[in-house]
Structure 1
């Protein structure tokens, strides 16, 4: 498995158990098929960082023991987390990282926290794009799922964090916009300029479609054991397959950008397959970079 091979040493250093090593995400393999989709209205430009105002949810100064809450990570299934309700708007040009051990996460800031996001995690997913900014709160994209595909909506999840619990910093101002209909991939820069890095690629088959909407770069790994990557990195997203509960023996199925010799048409299990130049460019993007997939 990709993380078994690439991260076993990291997990030993981090003190993560062998049980976790045997439950790692891997990219999807190929299954030829056809797919038809419709294109929603989407904003490809990233919104400027706003100035926080007093409007919004009231401050919460309560103290919480985050270790008593479910941890948000790529393996987590947390039914209380909401699925993104504005999937085709690019995030703001800010990211949030939890302070200390981690930060509590709210589905609704008027209620109690439902989970926590750690400051660090071996498989990434801790640099979180901000999608809404208030004086006391930020709404962010998260890793994990609220449900398995057989039991509910496994789409991109979100949550609210208190600004007092996180470091909110300006991001690099970059985003990735993928149009399946046009078979294009652009890197969008802070000034709005589009850098076209692909004019064709492979995407998910009808039974295993590529998830659409906004997500973000969770982690980037080079896995020589995956021969089809030809030694190129795999750029994993926070969102997982809308139809696969797991893949290749794992109980997670995150989608990704990766190289493949066959890289045109609806032939994957949800990943976007690209050429060497494109994956080299994509693998240079920092964790937390927003990724927008439009049908």
Structure 2
């Protein structure tokens, strides 16, 4: 053998195994430390409990509808001291119709009980009463405006006599809870310039029932705007009608306080032998067939008169 202190060749594999094992132990220890060490701030994620679920999104709340119009009024009223709104009534507290050529709601109203309180302003006290029935009608009325708790309607009677107040078409407010509402499916349209009378059905169908008519003179003009069919009657003593019906409207003369010895001057459709041009005291003179057709329409049917 050569001299020196070197290891024999036989010992080399054993040393290599020992060194390799030591290296493996060191790597394993480093890996264990790395696994056990907490993550750095850059790597850290939100903590989640084992078995926890993602919370469901909260439902979007549904807003409560806001009532439209004037507040509800549920008070009980003694109506015995209030004037009835009829053809003879003069009620200064009630307003006249402020949009006489505007479209109406397709609704009719009638008191659900013996009488309904009528208000000039829903925030105040009632100023009149509308009976459920009365001799000359006027109790089924067209609706001008519909709210949740109130309806504004056209009414018979007058705010004042000509010269003392405005005799135009009356209106007023009634609580929805005090009326029965029904559909208004037809209206009457009178065009004085064209000399025509038509019945128009909701949806657009038109029926021409007169292609000539008579209307009021300059001194006693036919009232223009919207009104409604109030009452139909056959009055045999009115010989000029030839036994045909008179169909009375809710509106009265703008210039006459009364007529024929009565305290009213109601506009009406009626037959007359002379029925063309501005020759009447305000009434609309039409053929017999037209009066019969108008008499078939229900009370409260809206009427529009234009020139």
Q: Report the TM-score range of the alignment, normalised by the length of the smaller protein.
A: 0.7 to 0.9
Deviation for aligned residue 1:99: 2.1
CA displacement, residues 20-61 of structure 1 (integer Å, 9 cap, x when unaligned): xxxxxxxxxxxxxxxxxxxxxxxxxxxxxxxx9821000011
* 1:81 corresponds to 2:94: yes
Confirm or deny: 8 A CA contact 1:53 1:134 kept in the other structure: no
Unaligned runs of 5+ in 1: 1-51
1:178-225 Cα shifts (integer Å, max 9, x gaps): 011111111000211111111110000110000000000000001111
- Structure 2 Cα separation of the partners of residues 250 and 91 of structure 1: 31
Give deviations 1:143-200, integer Å, cap 9, x for gaps. 00000001121000000000111111223x0100001111111100021111111111
**Equivalent residue number for residue 132 of structure 1:** 145
**Mapping for residues 164-243 of structure 1, pairs under 5 Å:** 164-171=177-184, 173-243=185-255
- For the pair shown, which has the larger CA radius of gyration, 1 or 2? 2
- Give the Å deviation of 1:88: 0.3
Determine helix, strand or coil for the equivalent of 1:76: coil
Aligned to 2:18: none
In structure 1, C-alpha distance between the alignment counterparts of 2:117 and 2:258, rounded to whole Å: 27
- Find the counterpart in structure 1 of residue 40 from structure 2: none
What does residue 119 of structure 1 align with? 132
Q: Give the SS at the match of 2:126.
A: coil
2:75 matches 1:71: no
Instruction: Find the aligned partners of 1:161 and 1:53 in 2 and give their Cα distance.
Output: 20
Write the deviation string for residues 54-91 of structure 1: whole angstroms up to 9, x where unpaired. Answer: 21000011110111211111000000010001100232
Large movers: runs of 4+ above 3 Å: none
Contact 1:90 1:292 survives alignment (8 Å): no
Larger mean CA deviation between 74-83 and 188-197 belongs to 188-197
Structural RMSD (CA): 1.2
Give distance in 1, aligned partners of 2:96 and 2:66.
25
* Higher RCO (CA 8 Å, separation ≥ 6 residues): 1
1:220-265 CA distance string (max 9 Å, x none): 0011111100110000000000000000100001100000000000
Distance 2:117 2:214 in 1: 38
Is 1:58 matched up with 2:71? yes
Whole-Å Cα distance in 1 between the matches of residues 129 and 140 of structure 2?
14
The superposition leaves residues 120-163 of structure 1 with CA deviations (integer Å, 9 ceiling, x where unpaired) of 10110000111110000001000000000011210000000001
Distance in 2 separating the partners of 1:61 and 1:126: 22
Asked whether the 8 Å contact 1:90–1:290 carries over to 2, the reply is no
